[in-house]
Each structure stands twice: as structure tokens, then as C-alpha cells.
Amino acid sequence: MKQSDMNKIYIKILVSLLALNVIFQVSSFAQQVVVVKDESGNPLPGAMVTVGEGSKPVMTNEKGEFTLKIESKTLVLFEAEGYEPQYITAFPAVTFENVAMEKSSYMMSSKDKIKVPFGVFRKGQIPGAVTAVNSSDLVKYDESKNFSSAILGKIPGYFGSNDNRGLGAPLIVVDGVPRPGTDYNIQMIDQITVAKDLFTSMLYGGQAKNGVIYITTKRGSPLHKSLNFTVQGGVNDPISYPDFLSSAQYMTLYNEALANDGLPAKYTQEYIDGATAGTDPVHFPDESYYNSTYLKSYSSYLNVVGEASGGNDIAQYYVNVGLNRSTGLLKIGEGANEANNRINVRGNVDYKLNNILKVRFDGAAIFNIRNQPRYTTPGTDFWTLSSTFYPNIAPVLIPVSLLEDQALLGAAKLIDGKYLLGGTSEYLTNIYGELSRNGPEQTNQRLLEMNIGLDFNLDPITEGLSASVFFTYDLENIFRTDIMNSYAIYNPIYPAGQDTISSWKKSNIDAKVNTQTLSDVSFSRRNALYGKIDYHKVSGDHEITANAIGYFDQYTLEGVLQPTKHMNIGIRANYMYKQKYIAEITGLVSGSTKLNETAPWVFSPGVGLGWILSNESFLENNQSINYLKLRANMALTNNEEGLNVYYAGHDYYTQSSTFSYNHGLGTAYSRLMYLGNPDLGYEKRFNSNLGFDALLLNNKLTLEGSWFYYKTSDVITQRTNYLPSYFGSYYFENYGSYSNTGVELGAGYTESIGDVILKIGSNFTWAHPKTIVIDELNYNEDYRKAAGKPTDAMFGFVSLGLFHDQTDINNSVLQTFGTVKPGDIKYQDLNNDGTIDDLDQKMVGNSHATVDYSFILSLKYKAFELFALANGQTGSETYFNNAYYWVYGSRKYSDVVLNRWTPSTATTATYPRLTTLSNENNFRNSTFWLYNKNWFTLQTLQLTYTLPAKIAGIQEARLFARADNLMTISKIKDMLQLNIGTAPQTRFYSLGVSITL
Amino acid sequence: MKTIRYLLIITTGMLLIAACTKFLDKTPAASTTDENVFRTYADFQGFIDPNYSEIRNYIGHYSSTTLDAGGETLNNFISWSPAYTAWSGEYVHYFAGSDASGYGDGTSLFQAKSYGYGINSTNGSGIWTGGWRGIRVCNVALKNYNLLSQATDEEKKLILGQIYFFRAWFHQQIIEWAGGMPYIDSVIAPSDVMRFERLSYQETVERIVKDYDKAIPLLPEDWDETTVGIQKVDPVTGASGNTGRVTKGVALAYKAKALLYGGSPLMNGFSGHDFTYDVDYCKRAAAVGWEMIQLANKLNKAGTKTYYALVPFANYSDNFWKYRNNGYVWTTETIWERMDRSTSFYSFVQRQNSFPRFGGRYGEQVNQLFVDKFEMADGTRYNPDIHDNDNAKRWDFRDPRFRKAILVDRDQHGADSRSILNLYEGSGSDKGTTQQITLPYLLKKFWPAGANGYDTKTSNLIRICPLMRLAEVYLDYAEAVTVAYGPTGSAPGATLTAVDAVNIVRARAGMPPVTAAATGYDSFLDLVRNERNVEFCFEGQYWFDNRRWYLAHLPENKICVDLKFDKDWTTFQRATIKNKVFENPKHYWVPLTRDQTLLYPGFYQNPGWN
């Protein structure tokens, strides 16, 4: 049966069903033996047959038979691996004895349906570079936490999970509308379509300039009733903590740094010796913070998801309820309660009102609740404090037993009945106090999402015509509540030469309040509306799929007058001939609120072609080339995403009524912020792709690959390097261009050996971005120019090592970044002008990886399946230049300074001389601080056991054990895995069970 | 029928889409049009007002004590202070600033590129960046002046006067640092070819003077006397909300200064002449100076006071600091300064003059050679050979301004007994690396007693570095007249000689009058210059003056001398401890950023920089 005929039948069935529905229902029963046959008329054993809503599927026997006991008008679903599913309604409309199944053609079956922006295509129809991941397949062996971990390593063309071909973050679209989607559990998601090229993404306009990740949530499907529970629990095991120097080491080296600067020592030897001895930690503190007093050895993770879905041909539903909780590593006070909790509820309903109109209604709510200690300075936390607090300033806890005169204690509030919090009048913050005495803080994020869709079947007007209107309304509300308690700190005073405390200086007070303080309240609203008209018709060798869309979205943040708006009107028409030749065109008109308001419209065209060679007669029966498609497309799109202002064609003033200067008639002022440029136009991006999809070697090897080229021009820029200062203002103009060329390849190989099924896969991406024209200084030196170099070029000085001694300095070129001393970094004079200055910087590395690659392994043995995913990147460099590595001034000393320059280690030192000043010479980006960043990580290892037999009422049950971020190989592994000032990176181990009823 | 129904639905949908093109319209409340900005007096004034925030207070500048870049002071430890970089000649790094684009830094005193609009900031936004931005504001305002419809004639004049003043003044600020510049007197459009060549210093001055000439007749002597200004005067307290606005006096004083600078040796030399005074410029400066002096001494309309008056010496420090909550430092002598009331951002004890033992970051100290400029109380010159060892006269029998501006050993600067300074050699002294003090003199001018870690009198303390005060009007006049007409001459029609002008300033300080003989000095001009150094010490003038007079590169002005003495004051010994890097002509002008000098040859770099 041909597809079009099937459709006709289906529609007729629906129409008649509806008619019958309205009339009084007459029930009658029949029982008969039905034989399911394949396309050649042979019986098909193992096909699944579902009779009516809510019943269990039955499997056909080896003769392809099953016995049908059925009420009239019941919908029956026939499914078999490799065949198109069929819905047939039982008598009296249709009677059936032999059901013929239609074999799925590769990439053209209903299982190959790929949801792309504003449409659904079968994979074979698409001339674009598109990769899709179905979560229901995925979760069977890979229990990812969210969509981005689900696609990590699985998309050829992606760097990590959020960087499309090196261009940057793609647009995330959920159910047709740009939304973050980050809080969705993986079970909620039906399909993740990654549209890499501009051609496939362009109907979303300028927003989609870096491609689209198009996510759809699950919906109910007729007769597929299921109830699923997944529970996963695990632990996060911290990988490493910073190594800061001990108190004695720190004081010794700080004195050394002072000496290097010609300044007298700050710490006396007595103090240093006291800290070294460690016998009196109150008098001579040595606080490290990264220890078991403060930290648990691991944090926990729990994820519970329940799903229910089902329905009949009239109404379908999908419900997802989830709870996700991850705790923190802190052990004390409010820190012990630190947790992120997420609760989500979603219901997606489809209801067919009549044979013309179908309604979709989706509602979702997500609550994110974060509990943590309240920190005195907002924005700080345990990790920032512990990476900046010196080890030697004050003891965290002072045992009151050390107090000479206990009467002095008065009403002091003790910790555990025996400690006071230490501090000084300069250092009022005590980490223990922050965690245990400062009150809790709760951050709430509430997200509500609503979609309403109307689908019109317009077959009565023209066959194959349909239309829909879709409206979404999202609401986000964030607020924080604090209980603003406070604590007192005590600075002990020791009488000379004694170990008991005679008195102290108290700062701040112990206070407990009963009120909550509300802060950081924000509301935002995102709504979108689109209408579309679809046309799909198969007639003979011709298949036409066309859409016309009108799309609007708007994001409004409370307090911001001008909302972000997008508006696109477009058409897309796909034509397929003989399932061999594909031609598709796309045209889009977009409007802008950011450019000149009198002419905000722009047109973007795209064209794509495909040729399925394997359907040609010369390849038709080739066993080594089972499928081969060539595809090519190009698109030229327009965007103004880089512009953060509105109506840039006009002069823009800010006005304020709070002019706190003494001038003006009291209050108001207005300021010209930038100059309008009526000629400002869209930034243009052209993209062409050449690619192929192939199935080779007796259906064992799949290959896909694309070559891509992007050219971005007319970049919206403020040309600060072109304008003389005396211009006195700024304006936006179209200037600059850059390109990006690359290759992406994906391969998968399947082999069955006995009971073992082995699948291996690999993805590879190479991208080469290049600056063509950019607003930069008119340098005389070519090496100093960014144009002609990669867009991610890192400019820096070339280090020649450290100056050994004064003679070395005297014999070297003059460096102009402050006075140079032995032990400072020596730079290369690139332009040979006898001085080292800003002109002596050249490209020393790439900040973005050139290559991303991954390996996927799946090994299935009977009920066991082992899944492993590893990925890596090469071709980039990084400066280690944060406070942990650039230790100067008053920064806390880490172990990187141990191998510093001293006169005696002048030849072996790997770190510059220490300094308490800023040292502009050493602490600037140079090859001294540059490291190659190549890495390879075993991201995921999961072992799944699927219960072989169906136990009482359970359709399927899986047990799994999973580990994430298991192992990294890199020359700078320790540095890459170390977080400073934030919670540590972790390895994740978990166990879980998933049961489908 | 059904077909029609669905066609209707679709048509309606299409119409909706068409209607939605309105979707792209601007949110009405989010739009500000030229009309909103320029129609009424209040709105128009609100457009000009941000210019007042582009005025810099040298003291408020990031990391610096004040603009002590001329070598009068030394800081040996804090590499980012002007008093440190002045000695190393490193304008590039902390003085004019440096970043990846060459010479121009977000935080430098001159460039301050990245400050953005400093409307509520302590720092202002740089002479260069803020200046050019202010000039554009003036030109835009002028272009839209015809939109000012809801204003009285008086209000229109006030607007126009301020526009012309600011355009001239910003240019003047820029060229005093960086030399002659293009004079921007129209709104440059993006489509214009921006290839203006740098003018010579004197050419720029001529254009500046023209704008002052337009501004002077339009500006009032006192805003409190205008119809619009009187509304800003509190009827009960008489407190004026107009303090700090541009007046005729400001424009006159700056016009005179512009001419005096234009006629000064450095500027004359860089305008293609000799490095000597241009007498003609000095004549013009003298004439304008006399105009200003007359205005200063004129009684106001109410007849209650003169428009300006020197502050009595007892209240001298009112010019520089005040304890005041949410108020300003502004006196009868003040002509022009930033209206700065911020006290918190760089709190006094954190940085600025106070040194570590006093709870501060670093102290700035005074070069002995500069201290020598202060005369003896009887008007004779200080003689190191005699006075260095004279415990009675070395520090006590001196020009009273000495002890107002400088702290010496054994001074107690606060009520707390620990606030006594120890600046001798030997143990127990504050001199040395711990307290980061090299020379035995600390700056007192901007530092009230008690503003230290012992007495902690630091809250509500506002400090200002005046940019123009009446004393300068007299001394600018004295210098111009001396060059043009000699010490006993005067501007045509004037009743005040150069000698008289100097004596007015000296008399306020309690110093005996001088005569044309200029006893103890090489010439009367030399005396005027010395008087200027003393009166305006640490106010930034020394840096401008030594350059202007083409003296900064001379060996005698590149030495830092320390005075070493024991705790008991028995022996006093001088020692040269530092030599200054000041190349001629390199260090006479600050470097410009490369993003400017690489644009086109007509906008060239100052000599000596690349």
C-alpha cells in the first residue's frame, strides 16, 4: 500500500469514526484469526498488535497469526521492527484477515521522523546537516541528566554540547519556541534535533545564526499506554581542592616577597616558628579550610521521575512529574542544608474536537529552590572565601578554656558550648560563623510554561492542507529570602610571653532575627505566537512538503521598557522526486526593533539539494553501498543579535531623574549615549554545506559527513579604533568580516557476534575560523594584526624565561612595564625596536579548540548493555592567570609559588620572584603562562541490565549503574580539574532503576 | 459553508499577521526624542549638565594623592602614584596610562578611557576622554539650540553661555597636557572625513579665546542674581543651589589663563617660535586679567559683598578640605573646581597622604629643594647654609604658608599623643621602608589634623583640589604684566601693577610686601614664579608651570634632596637621593594613544613617544 493511499484510508477512517461517534454507538463483537504479512505476502512473526486503548500488545506467532477478539470500531495498531506502523479500525468500517505491513525504507520511515523548525520531515527528505537524538532510545542505555549531556559527544559538528561548529552557542528551541530548556529531565524530552547549518535553522531568523537545538517534549500516542518510573541516586565525588600554603610557609614567603620589593619583613620569626610548631593554633593560627571540619567527602544526588502517557485516537496525554535534589559538600550549620531542589510537573494533552480541529494544551511548572548559608557579602560563598582568606590571620575557633578570666565571657554565644569565633577588626568574616551563625538563604526560581495550539485539518479545502496556530506564555519569577542573623568575632589578646588569653577585642554582635528579608526579585515574561500553513502531498513520484509561517516572540524583563522582540514571516518548500532527488527552498522576511525603524525588513534566502544515489539503478542492488545520499545547501541570513540597543538608526539618550550632581534644575539630565546611524543594516551570514549520509557494508557501517563554510560580514561594530577621540561619541556601523571553514564526520559500526551486539561510533569536528577584516589599530607590524589570523587568536608576549641577575637585565632589551629586577620575566623584542612594549605581542595560541572528537561504545550481551562515551579536544591553549597562578600583591599564596625565583635558584626557578606590589611586568599574558589545553575525558560509563522476562504487570524494567566524568587524560590534567573560588569538579557515580508498567 | 468558514479563519489569521507589523514599534515610554531633550530650559540644561561631571578633582583620581607630577614631591614606594612616576618619566603607565592599545588606560589620570560616564563617580572621566565627549555635547547642544522654544531670553543666554564656555574649557584642558589639537566646533557626522590636523598650541588658543569671547557677555556674574537662579536659593538659609555653575568670572579667569599659557615659553616654542615669552599674548592676558580682577572686586547687585574675595588666612584650608555631610568645598575664593562631595570611595585612611602607622597606605613627601622655595617670615630667601642648622628658623620662622602645607618632625597632627611625627634618622623614626617615608616632610595641605587611625576624624571629610581660585587670577595677572609691561607696569587702564598683585596674595598669607627690586631673586619674574610655586603648592600647578616655563628639563629641577638629621636636631645634612628622568622634548607633553596616532599623519604623536 502506498503512503498516500494509506493516508487516504486513515483520513477516511477518522472521518467515519467521528461520524459514528456522534451517532448512537452499537457494540458488537467478533473473533477471528488475523495473519500479519510482510510486503511480499509472507507471514510476519513477532509483530506486535495492540487492540484498543489500554490493552497489552500481543505478539504474532511464527505463522504470523494472532487471534483477534474485538469490539466494532476499535482501533488496532500493528507494529513490527523494520516496518511502518499501521492503525486500522476494526469492522464494520474495515474487516481484515490479512494485514500487509509495509517495509520501512531507510531514512524514510515514520521512525525516521525528524522535527525541524516549523515542520516534521523524514530524515531522507532533508538536504541539511541535521542530527537527531531520540530520548526514548537513549535512556535505554544512557541515563543523561538533561538535553545537553544527552547530545554531548553525539553530534558531529559540535564542540562539547553547546558550540555549533566553533561559531558559539546555538539557539535552544523547546516545543517551537526559544526557551532555556535546561531544567527539563531527559524523560520529558521526546527528540533533540540538532540543526547545524543555517539553511535548516533559518526560519528562526537572526536568533538562529549559530544553528538550532530543537527540542520537543513527549506527547501521548494512541494505544501506547505506559507508566514509567525512574529513580536514580548517586554521589558526587570531588576531584581536587586547591593547595594553598600553610601559615608558616605563607608568612615566610610573604616576608621574602617584601624583601624582594625592598620592604621590611611583616612577620616575626617567633610568629613563623609558632605556626611551624603548630602546638598553639589559637595564638599562631594555620587555617586551611579544605578539610573534614568543613567538607563532606562527597555530595549526593537524587532524581525521581514518573511519567504516564496514553490515549486513543481522540485524546492523548503525557504527564511528567519529577523531583531532583543535589546537595552540597559543606558540613557545618546552614552549609549542611545546602541543596538544589527541583520539582517539575508537566502535562501535554492533545484533543481532537472533530476531524478538522485538534487542540494541544501543554502546561508545565518548574520550581527550583536553592538553600544555602547566608553570606555577609552577597556573591561570596565558602569557596570564594576559602580561596582568599589567609591561613594566619585569626583562628576560626577559640576554645574558651584558654581564657584566663572566665568571667570575661559574659553572655558570649559559644559554639558547641566551648568555642568563640575568631577574627580581627580588619577581618570581620569568619567562615565558621558564615556557615553556622549568619542565617539561611533561599533562592527560588519559579517557571511556568504554557502552550496552546490549534491544528486545523484543511483537507476539505485542499487535500494535504493543514494549518495551525500556536501560542506560548512563559513566566519566570526569581526571588531570594534571607534571615539576616549576625555573629560576633573575637580577637584574643595575649599578655606578653603568656599562652592564656587575658582579654579580647570583640567586633560585631550575635543577633538572631525573626524576619525574612526579600531581595533580588525579578519577573520575566516570554511569549510567542506563530501561525503556519502546511501542505503535504504525495502524488505519484512527486512529494511536496511546504510550510508558510508567521512567527513573533517577545521577552519582557520587569523594569526594562523595551522588550526583546523577534518577528519572522517565511516559507519553506521541499520537493522530492522518486525518492531520489530533493530540492528545497526557504525564504524569510524578518523585522527588527534594533535597527532603523523606518525600514526594518530584510529578506533571507536559502536553497538545498539532495540526491539519493543508492536509489539510482546503478547502485540499487549494491551490497556494500546500501544507502548513499549527497546533500548541499546554502543560505544567506541576516541578524542584529550583536546589537544590544534599540532603534540604532536614531540618536539615543538616557534620561534620569536622579542626577545626584549639584547641577541642573534640580533633578533631570539626559545624555547622548550613542549616535544614530540610519544606514546601519543587518549583519550578514552566509553558509554553505556539502555533505553525505551513507549506509555501507551490508548495513553495518553508517557514515555522515559535511564540509561547511561560513562567512559573516557587515558585523555590527562600534569602531573605536577608527574614530578619532575628538569625535566624542560612538555609533554602530557595519564593519568587519570573518569566516569559518570546517569538516564534521560521524561514523557508526554495528556487528553481531552470537549474543553479542557491538556498536562503536565516533564523531569528529574540525573548524578553522579566520578574521578577515576587523576594527583594530593600524599596526605597522603584521604579527600584531588580528586580521588574517584565527578569530580565536590569543595575543601575548613571548617569554624568554626569567632574568638571572642584574647583568642579564643590563644586557637585555629595555622592558617598559615598571622597574625590572632579577627573577622577573624577560620578553622577546619582536619588532627589534630596542624596547619591549605593547607592540611586542603576537599570536601565541588559540583560545578555541580546533578539533573535537568522541568515541562511543555500546556492547550488548543478552540483557546486559555496556555504554561508554569519551570525548576530547585539541588545538587550543589557555593562560593560567587567575589569582591562584598570578600571585602578587595581597593575594593568597598557593603551591605554585614554591618553585619561585630566588638568587640561589636563579637557574632552576619556574615561577617569577615574589612581590607584594602589582608587578606589571610579570603579570601580563605571555607564553610564560600559556599551556596547551589538549584533553581527553571518559565522560560516561553505564552498565544496564534489562530484566529479560516480563514480570507481573511490568512491561520493562532496567537496572543501571553509571559513572560520569570518570577520567581525564591531559598534560595539564591537574590544572584543568582544579576549581578555584568555586565548588570543586566532581566524578559522579550513580545507581538507578527504571520500570515501565 | 465549512470551506468558507475555514477560509475566513485563515484570512483573519493573515490579517492578524499584517497587524502585527505594529509589533515592531517602539515602546512609547522607551523613546526619547530630540524634542524631549531640547525643548524646555530645564531639559536643555539637563543635557548640558553632565559636562559638569567631566571636571576632574585631581585628589579623587584613582590611586593618586594629587597631581604632584612636577617633582615637588616624592613617593618612593607606590609605583602607581604620579609622585612616583614623575621621577621615572614613565608617563605611559600610571600617568597617561597604558593598555593593549598603546598609551591609554582605563584608569589613568589623563586618559581614563574606560570610566564611561562618571556622573556619580568620584573620579570624573579623564581630561582626554571626558573632554572630547563634553565638546561633542556642546556642539550637539549648539546644533539643537533652535529647538529650545520654552525658555526666556535670559534662560537662552545662560544655555548658550555655558555651551561656549565648556567648548573652550575642555579644549584648554586637553592642550595643557597634550599640546595643540584640532578645534572641534561642529557636530562631526559619522560620514564626515575625520582628518583634522593638529593645530599649533597658539592656533588652538585663538579658537579657545573666541569661544570665551562669545560666552563672557552671555554669562551672569552670579546665578543667584538671575530670575532662574534665584529659584534655587533657599529663602530661609540663603544657601544657593547654583554653586559651581559657570559664571562670567570663570570664563574671564580661564580666558586670561589661556592667553598666558599661549604666551608661555614652551607653548610659544611649540608654535614655531622661540622658547621665550610671547609679549603680545602676555599683553592680552594682562588685559583680560584686569577685567577679571575688576569683576572680582565689584559689589554684587544687592551690595552685600564682592563677587569674589580671598579667604582670610585663618580659613585658608577651607579651600582644600571641609568636614561636611553631603556638601561641598567652595569658598568666596573658589572660581572653578569639581563639585565633589564624595568622601567614601577612597577613604582617607586607606590611601592618600596618611602613612601606614597613621592607618594610611602611603605618605607623599616633599623635596627639600621645594621646601627651600618658602621664604623666611621676614621675606628674605631661605639659605640652606645658614638655616638648615638653625632650629629656631629652619621651620618656624618661615612663610606661614609653609606650616599650612607641610608637616615636619615633631609635629603633632591630631589630638592623640601618638599622632606625633618622627622624621629624624634612627630608631623609632617613621622614616624608612616600614612607613614608606623617604623625606622628612609630609603633605599637610589636604590633610586635616586628626584624620588618622588614632583620632579617626575621617567621616564626612571632603577634599578638593581647586582648579582656579582668585589667588591665581592675581598671580596670572602679575606674570603677564611683568613680561609685558614690567613689574611696576600694569594692563592698559589698570590701577594694579604686577608688584601690587603679588602683594595682595602675600598679604593674605601675612607675608611682607615685595618691591620691583625682587631682592634675593634673579628677577621679578623669578619672584612671581616662586610666589606661584608657594601659593599653589601641591595643587598640580607646579607640573604645568615648570613645563610652561620650559624649565622642567634643566638639571637643577631634576634633583630630589633629602634632609637627614638626628632625633635631637644636632646635625642636619643634605643628600641628593634621586634624579629625575625628564627628556626634552619628550616629557613636556603626554603621549597620545596609538589608536589615535596611527589613524593619519596629521594627528601625530607628541615628540619622543612612538
B31-52 pLDDT tens trace:
566 677 888 888 888 888 888 8
Does the structure show a pLDDT above 70 at B304? yes
For residue A280, give the C-alpha cell. 598553639
Cβ proximity of A309 and A220 under 8 Å: yes
Residues of A in contact with B89 (CB under 8 A): none
Please judge whether A728 and B132 are an interchain contact, meaning their C-beta atoms are less than 8 angstroms apart: yes
Query: Among B30, B190, B245, whose Cβ lies nearest the Cβ of A731?
Result: B190
B260-299 burial, b at 16+ Cβ within 10 Å, e below that, comes to bbbbbbbbbbbbeeeeebbeebbbbbbbbbbbbbebbeee
pLDDT of residue A23: 38
Query: Among B137, B188, B598, whose Cβ lies nearest the Cβ of A777?
Result: B598
Interface test with B, best of A672, A677, A725 (most B CBs within 10 A): A725
> Torsion over CA of B186, B188, B189 and B195, rounded to 10 degrees?
130
Output phi, psi for A588, to 5 deg. Answer: -140, 135
Does the structure show a pLDDT above 60 at B118? no
| Interior angle at CA B55, CA B54 and CA B57, nearest 5 | 125
β-strands A877-879, A864-874: how paired?
unpaired
Q: State chain B's mean pLDDT as an integer.
A: 87
With CA atoms as reference, report the closest residue to A729 among B529, B465, B610, B194. B194
- The answer to whether the complex's ipTM is over 0.85 is yes
What confidence category does residue B351 fall into, taking pLDDT thresholds of 50, 70 and 90? low
Q: Which residue of B has its CA nearest to A672?
A: B137
DSSP B29-64: GG---HHHHHSBHHHHHHHHGGGGGG---GGGSTT-
Calculate mean pLDDT across residues B341-367: 69
pLDDT of residue A599: 64
Please judge whether A670 and B37 are an interchain contact, meaning their C-beta atoms are less than 8 angstroms apart: yes
pLDDT of residue B427: 87
B302-335 burial, b at 16+ Cβ within 10 Å, e below that, comes to eeeeebbebbeeeebbbbbbbeeeeebbbbbbbb
Please judge whether A728 and B2 are an interchain contact, meaning their C-beta atoms are less than 8 angstroms apart: no
How is residue A276 annotated by DSSP?
H
Residues of A in contact with B341 (CB under 8 A): 662
Beta-carbon contacts below 8 Å between A and B: 202
Residues of A in contact with B117 (CB under 8 A): 671
Can you give the pTM of this predicted structure? 0.85
Interval A250-266: pLDDT, tens: 999 999 999 998 888 88
β-strands A851-861, A756-773: how paired?
antiparallel
Query: Among A467, A563, A668, whose Cβ lies nearest the Cβ of B42?
Result: A668
Task: Write down the domain spans for chain B.
Answer: 344-459
- Rg, C-alpha atoms of chain A: 34
- Strand ranges across the sheet with A75-79: A58-59, A48-51, A75-79, A86-89
For residue A245, give the C-alpha cell. 600554603
Q: Which residue of B has its CA nearest to A647?
A: B26
Please judge whether B101 and A721 are an interchain contact, meaning their C-beta atoms are less than 8 angstroms apart: yes
By the 10 Å C-beta count (0-12 exposed, 13-18 middle, 19+ buried), A5 is classed as exposed
Calculate mean pLDDT across residues A90-96: 60
Position B587, amino acid: H
For residue A389, give the C-alpha cell. 582568606
Please judge whether A262 and B433 are an interchain contact, meaning their C-beta atoms are less than 8 angstroms apart: yes
Q: CA A475 from chain center: how many Å?
A: 21
Residues of A in contact with B175 (CB under 8 A): none
Residues of A in contact with B2 (CB under 8 A): 356, 460
Please judge whether B3 and A461 are an interchain contact, meaning their C-beta atoms are less than 8 angstroms apart: yes
Interface test with B, best of A726, A729, A775, A926 (most B CBs within 10 A): A726
Please judge whether A818 and B79 are an interchain contact, meaning their C-beta atoms are less than 8 angstroms apart: yes
Does the structure show a pLDDT above 80 at B253? yes
With CA atoms as reference, report the closest residue to A195 among A237, A233, A165. A165
Range in A35-49, A447-461, A852-866, A968-982 with the lowest mean pLDDT? A35-49
Cβ proximity of A587 and A570 under 8 Å: yes
Please judge whether B117 and A671 are an interchain contact, meaning their C-beta atoms are less than 8 angstroms apart: yes
What confidence category does residue A949 fall into, taking pLDDT thresholds of 50, 70 and 90? low
Please judge whether A655 and B46 are an interchain contact, meaning their C-beta atoms are less than 8 angstroms apart: yes
Pairwise CA distance, residues A403 & A812, whole Å: 59
pLDDT of residue B433: 79
Which residues lie across from B540 on neighbouring strands? none
Interval B442-454: pLDDT, tens: 999 988 898 888 8
What confidence category does residue B238 fall into, taking pLDDT thresholds of 50, 70 and 90? confident
Pairwise CA distance, residues A159 & A154, whole Å: 10
Interface test with A, best of B175, B183, B361, B595 (most A CBs within 10 A): B595
Pairwise CA distance, residues A252 & A246, whole Å: 10
Q: Which residue of A has its CA nearest to B231?
A: A665
pLDDT of residue A441: 94
Cβ proximity of B274 and B183 under 8 Å: no
Q: How many CB atoms lie within 10 A of CB A56?
A: 11
High-pLDDT (> 90) share of chain B, %: 60
Position B526, amino acid: D
Residues of A in contact with B234 (CB under 8 A): none
What confidence category does residue B361 fall into, taking pLDDT thresholds of 50, 70 and 90? confident
Please judge whether B24 and A593 are an interchain contact, meaning their C-beta atoms are less than 8 angstroms apart: yes
Please judge whether B26 and A817 are an interchain contact, meaning their C-beta atoms are less than 8 angstroms apart: no
Q: How far is B545 from chain A (nearest CA, A)?
A: 26
Does the structure show a pLDDT above 70 at B257? yes
How is residue B127 annotated by DSSP?
I
Query: Among A458, A721, A918, whose Cβ lies nearest the Cβ of B6?
Result: A458
* H/E element, B178: helix B153-178
Please judge whether A720 and B595 are an interchain contact, meaning their C-beta atoms are less than 8 angstroms apart: yes
Pairwise CA distance, residues B68 & B58, whole Å: 9
What confidence category does residue A223 fall into, taking pLDDT thresholds of 50, 70 and 90? confident
Query: Among A565, A567, A727, whose Cβ lies nearest the Cβ of B194?
Result: A727
Query: Among A531, A651, A661, whose Cβ lies nearest the Cβ of B13?
Result: A531
Calculate mean pLDDT across residues B331-345: 77
Please judge whether B46 and A668 are an interchain contact, meaning their C-beta atoms are less than 8 angstroms apart: yes
Q: E strands along B241-348, which residues?
A: 321-323, 334-336
pLDDT of residue A295: 94
Q: How far is B38 from chain A (nearest CA, A)?
A: 10
pLDDT of residue A22: 39
Please judge whether B13 and A461 are an interchain contact, meaning their C-beta atoms are less than 8 angstroms apart: no
Pairwise CA distance, residues A47 & A270, whole Å: 86
Please judge whether A819 and B98 are an interchain contact, meaning their C-beta atoms are less than 8 angstroms apart: no
* H/E element, B202: helix B201-218
Does the structure show a pLDDT above 90 at B164? yes
Residues of A in contact with B123 (CB under 8 A): none
Please judge whether B194 and A646 are an interchain contact, meaning their C-beta atoms are less than 8 angstroms apart: no
Residues of B in contact with A467 (CB under 8 A): 9-10, 13
User: How many angstroms separate the most distant Cα atoms in chain B?
Assistant: 119
High-pLDDT (> 90) share of chain A, %: 58
- CA-to-CA separations, B305 to A921, B224, B295, B596, in angstroms, rounded: 57, 13, 12, 49
**B556: helix, coil or strand?**
helix
Which residues lie across from A745 on neighbouring strands? A705, A764
Please judge whether A777 and B102 are an interchain contact, meaning their C-beta atoms are less than 8 angstroms apart: yes
Query: Among B93, B128, B341, whose Cβ lies nearest the Cβ of A725?
Result: B128
By the 10 Å C-beta count (0-12 exposed, 13-18 middle, 19+ buried), B227 is classed as exposed
What confidence category does residue A519 fall into, taking pLDDT thresholds of 50, 70 and 90? confident
Does the structure show a pLDDT above 50 at A791? yes
Residues of A in contact with B241 (CB under 8 A): 662, 666
Cβ proximity of B499 and B475 under 8 Å: no
Residues of A in contact with B134 (CB under 8 A): 728
Q: How far is B231 from chain A (nearest CA, A)?
A: 9
Please judge whether B599 and A668 are an interchain contact, meaning their C-beta atoms are less than 8 angstroms apart: no
With CA atoms as reference, report the closest residue to B290 among B150, B491, B480, B94. B491
Query: Among A569, A670, A720, whose Cβ lies nearest the Cβ of B32?
Result: A670
